[in-house]
A and B are shown apart, each in its own frame.
Chain A
């Protein structure tokens, strides 16, 4: 499994806990429109993801967060930065 696929699986698992009534969740799922995740809930979601990966994603980087795929990309970039 590629790193991004593994991150997607983790993010979807967290989202399943936070939004048990959500339908299918994929990279294209819109956080606001499909999952009813507002700005405050998005910050809490990011905090869960930070804990799983032991990293910090500054709030400054969340402005363009729209989809589940955006979040996966953000996490992947931070993990790569840590390795690099």
Chain B
């Protein structure tokens, strides 16, 4: 009988090769202490955090921390139950109502993590008689949700409305089956955005439903921060929206929202909602506070976008190839995995943390240094990080 973990032999070999090139495991990085939303101690060194998805920089908001502390004291450390048993507190309903109001949707459901929000939304909406058309570059949680649904799943070319149109046109539909199109707002690896106006036109023509995952675009796009659909003026055509608390909202959790009159039935059908403990009271309380700040302070987005443009322009000036037009995510495309690991280590040794993203988790099998900015970065921090990137560029040029 073979070892149950023997199948991971190639993975172990690849990990060994990664360690060999830098000595540090990029996927087991330990942050020793957070100094602020943009600074941390790593290996005893003060490091600029440029890869946290903390887009609005609100993780240390004093009122959110105080609200979380108060909820801890009043409701305890955890709910010890699922939403359908003893895990729904007034706070959970209050937050759902606050989201529904903010998003201008009839109803909202809160999930325990962003991953589970996509799982719960997709597997709750689609079933074995249905078909899901999924953007090729979708996040793993979307693919996993598709699998959990039991629906027939067809992948269309990333951000390609014509390809979606072609595939919808040749679809054979059982009479009792619906079609769900799933896309993201801002794609987190390359920092590109979905052409929502075009996608909406196609889905409308084919009578499909549309779910947009605004995980990375909520709080970032739109006049009110509701996401890319608001920015594109197509919210009324988006049937379902999903999102996470772990980016702009600075916590852990997720949500789904809709105007569909029967959307609430997902509470009785979506397994990732039903069979997991509900989010902690402290999380609910802090997110309520952060949501109010997003609503009241559009200047947070103004600062975020100024930083995004500063970083993007600086990286372009240094000659780096970037994954997309300016957005809060700037993906530096490097030649191969080895070069990316080397550059990632060099930046870290010089006090800058970015995300290392390698195939197969990246579009087009590219090796990326994924930087993301926050409203909390100062221009001086962005410039300091760019100075370190300049050192990477200098050494790359010297090596060729």
* Contacts from A to B (Cβ < 8 Å): 32, 38-41, 43-44, 47, 54-56, 58-60
Is B293 at the interface (CB under 8 A from chain A)?
no
CB distance from B165 to the nearest CB of A (A): 13
Contact B170 A43 (CB under 8 A): no
Q: Which residues of B contact A43 (CB under 8 A)?
A: 136, 155
Choice from B143, B155, B157, B360 contacting A38 with Cβ under 8 Å = B360
Interface SS majority for chain B: mixed
Choice from A41, A56, A59, A60 contacting B171 with Cβ under 8 Å = A56
10 further interface pairs, Cβ-Cβ under 8 Å (given A43-B136, A59-B146, A59-B155): A32-B10, A38-B359, A38-B360, A39-B360, A54-B170, A55-B170, A56-B170, A58-B154, A59-B143, A60-B152
Choice from A39, A41, A58 contacting B152 with Cβ under 8 Å = A58
Interface residues on B, range: 10 to 19
- Complex-state Cα separation, A40 to B365, whole angstroms: 9
Contact A56 B360 (CB under 8 A): no
Most buried by B among A32, A43, A55, A56: A56
- Complex-state Cα separation, A10 to B153, whole angstroms: 24
The residue of chain B having its C-beta at the shortest distance from the C-beta of A43 within the complex is B155
Closest 6 CB pairs of A and B: A40-B360, A59-B153, A38-B360, A58-B152, A56-B154, A58-B154
Contact B153 A41 (CB under 8 A): no
The residue of chain B having its C-beta at the shortest distance from the C-beta of A61 within the complex is B152
- Complex-state Cα separation, A60 to B149, whole angstroms: 11
Is B177 at the interface (CB under 8 A from chain A)?
no
Q: A56-B170, A56-B171 are in contact. Are A41 and B365 (CB under 8 A)?
A: yes
